[in-house]
Each structure stands twice: as C-alpha cells, then as structure tokens.
Structure 1
Amino acid sequence: MTPPDESKVSLTRTQRRAQQMRRVIVDIAESLYIDEGVAAVNAETIAARADISVQTVYNRVGVRDALLVAITEKALSTNRAFMDETFTTTEGNAEQRVLAVASAFIEFARTHRRQFRLLTTPPGPAAQALVNAQAEIQIGQLAQILDAGMDEGLGTPGLNTRHVAIALWAMLSGLLAMTFADDTIIGEEESEAVMTTALNILRDGLLHRQ
C-alpha cells in the first residue's frame, strides 16, 4: 500500500484549522456588531478576544469591511437554510405555500434574532448589496408562487404579483423588526398574537379568493 502523502495530510489539517479560526473570528465580529455597533468591529478587539494575532485576523478574513461582509454572509446563509426548502416545495396550493414561506421567515427571525436584526440593518454598502441581492431572489420566488395562485383563482385578475410579493416581504420584515426591537411596544406575550394576526390578514386579505 502506498503511504499517504504527508504534505497533503498536513495541508488538509491546516485548511481545517484555518476554516475553524475564520469561524471563530466571524462569530466574534458578529457579537461585537450586534452588541456594540460597527465601530466595535476591529481586528485588534477580535484578536484580543480570540487570543490570536491581529495579522491572523487579516489573513483569515480581512479588514473591517471584509469582517462586516463575512458576518452578513453568515446571516444570509442561515436565512437560506430556513427559506430555500419552503420556496422550492410544490406541496399544497399557492395559498398554503405563501403561508409556509411567511411562517418560515417568522421562525428564522424568532430563533435567530441577532442575525435577523443584522439583515434588517446591514453594516455598510457592501453588506447592503448582499442583502438586497438575496431579497430580490426571494421576492422573485414568492412572486412565482403568487403567479401559480393567480392560475388557481386567488387574487384580483391582472394583479402585479411582484408588487404583492414586495408588499408582503416589507410588511413581515417591518413587523418582525418591531416585535424584536429592544425598545418595542410589543411585549413577549403579545408578540405571538401579533404574528398570528398578521398571518390571518395575509390569508383573508391579500390572498382573498374571487
């Protein structure tokens, strides 16, 4: 048997360690941004918390702009994990699928509040561009479901489904942002009822059958 190439084994181990260190750096950057704002995200603070050199932060991720993009990419990846399967499923009619999308979005915001808040207030133009790009994709997917609903007799004939999708997205994002804000007027016990009311409005209003 040919012995393993030690250089390849060492490289693989090195890559794994580099990836793990990158995750640690991004996690710390995320916490700093959520807890203290953009100004707190810097290589010196991250290096001190991770007990590594500042150069390691630069090597694994980069300067502040790169750090902010990295934490945004992490939040977007988590969001996709919640949303992608719901968008692509063909189970149920259009009304059920739209409600499933809304429920998945609510669940993401509820279980990943820090990352949801990051996506509602992206840290800088590059991060905002990433958020906008993913929102555009998901709005398009929602509009496709609504198109199918029009064929099933939901909504007013000739309705612009893209505009409806944007309105639904904005309504739900704004409501969730308000619900999970630090200084919200909506209490923890009331938030569940508010979410249920929003879904009822969605079901009985915007998706009203002819």
Structure 2
Amino acid sequence: MGIQERKIRHKEDLRKRILEAAKKLFLTAGYEATSIRKIAKEIEFSPTTIYLYYKDKSDIIYALHQEGFQMMRQSFQPLMQVESPFERLKALGKCYINFAFTHPDFYELMFVMKDPMEYLEISCVETSWEEGERVFDFLLQTVRDCQDKGYFNGLDTKHVAMEAWASVHGMCALYVSGHLKSMMKVVFGDENHERMIEDAFRVLVHYLESTK
C-alpha cells in the first residue's frame, strides 16, 4: 500500500471514529449536551482535528442521518426483484422492522431525534436529502404498483404510503424508545416484544389485503 492510500485510509478511519463517538454521545448524553470538545475527548484527539472533517455538530449528526438512510436503502435493494407488488410491500415492511431491530441507534437518529431534520431545513438545499427521498420513493412506487393490481382503489398514493409508513414506524419507535418493553411488562407480562411487533405487522398486512 502506497503513502497516498495509507493517508486516505487513515482519514476514512478517523472519520468513522468521529461519527461513532458522536452517535454514542448523542444517544446517551443528548444532542444539546454533546459538544465538539466532548466528541474529541471520546476519541482522544483535539477539537481542531474534528473541525478538519466537520464544521460543527449539526454537520456531524446530519452525516450520521445520511449514513443511516444509505444503510436502509441498501437493505431495500434486493426487494426490487420481487415481482408481486403486494409481496414487495410486505417484504418492505419486514425489512424496515428488521432495520429498527438491528440498528436501533441509527433508527433513533433517523426517525426519532428532531435535530437532523432541523439542520436539514435550516442549512441544506432541497436536493440534499437524496438518500431519505430515495427510501420513501421506493415505498411510493411500490404502492403505485399495488394500485395497478387493484389494491387501494380510490385512495391517494401518497396518503397510503404515509399511513403504511406511520403504522410501522409507530411500532418501531415504541420498540427503540423502550416504551414497548416497559408497557408489555405491565400489560402482557414477559411476552417477546419483537414477536409482538411482527404479529402487529401481520394484522396491518391483513387490513391492507382487504382493500383490494
């Protein structure tokens, strides 16, 4: 490996360390309580080093936001090969739920914390949320394909997509925040909360099927 390649790898490794440290602090200490100095202390570098990569902590949380959507979009890509649009819609929901189970830290940053979206509204042009738009566009196209097959007749495509997403997101947000686990102990005892979300999703699918 040449000197230039080593420099590039070192920069990428350091960038990843910055993002991992920031993600940990954002989720444990909170966004407002996290500073560039604290992130620098976490990775044992000076704050000046971090400023070489990111202009402020808003820039960092937005980078994490984008990375999370890239990961989600990559997990959706195999579903493009599913010919039946309704089966694709079901698989999309399962994939989304699995992402929340597997990456709860990213899920909270992407869909629960308000700070990344505030940064987007204040600091970015419309085309800067490309990864997020691609994820939702895939859902929209799948709903359109379902309508071509007779599902959701008379309903607005965007409204159907939004309601489907909101339903699944609600279950995932309860899971990620810990509210579901706490509530289940009181109401349902020790029932497996991941299995409960999957069962709730099957109920949603049954309802969607009845719209044809």
SS in 2 for 1:147: helix
**Contact 1:140/1:162, CA 8 A, preserved across alignment:** no
Of 83, 89, 93, 2:84 maps to: 93
Please list, as runs of the form range in 1=range in 2, the aligned pairs for 1:9-158 lying within 5 A after superposition. Answer: 9-86=2-79, 88-89=80-81, 91-120=82-111, 121-124=113-116, 125-127=118-120, 134-156=131-153, 158=154
Of 166, 179, 190 in structure 2, the residue corresponding to residue 170 of structure 1 is 166
Consecutive unaligned residues in structure 1, runs of 5 or more: 1-7
Separation of aligned partners in 1, 2:43 and 2:53: 13
Q: Is the 8 A contact 1:72 1:118 kept in 2?
A: yes
Aligned residues: 200
Q: Deviations over 1:19-61 (max 9, x none)?
A: 1111101100000001111123322112212111111111122
Deviation digits for residues 69-128 of structure 1 (CA, Å, limit 9, x no counterpart): 122222222222222332x22x24122110000000000000101111111224241257
Cα distance change on mapping 1:9 and 1:136 into 2, 3 Å: closer
Deviation at residue 14 of structure 1 after TM alignment: 1.2
One-letter code aligned to 1:177: A
Partners of 1:183 and 1:203 in 2: CA distance:
23
Q: How does 1:174-185 map to 2 (within 5 A)?
A: 174-184=170-180, 185=183
TM-score by length of 1: 0.83
Normalised by the length of structure 2, the TM-score is 0.82
Percent identity for Structure 1 against Structure 2: 22
The change in CA–CA distance for 1:134 and 1:19 in structure 2 (over 3 A counts) is closer
Q: Which runs of 5+ in 2 are unaligned?
A: none
Q: Decide whether the 8 Å contact of 1:75 with 1:116 is kept in 2.
A: yes
Helix, strand or coil: the match of 1:28? Answer: helix
Structure number with larger C-alpha Rg: 1
Distance in structure 2 (CA, Å) of the matches to 1:79 and 1:13: 29
> What amino acid is aligned across from residue 150 of structure 2 in structure 1?
G
**In 1, Cα distance between the equivalents of 2:136 and 2:184?**
27
- C-alpha distance in 2 between matches for 1:201 and 1:80: 25
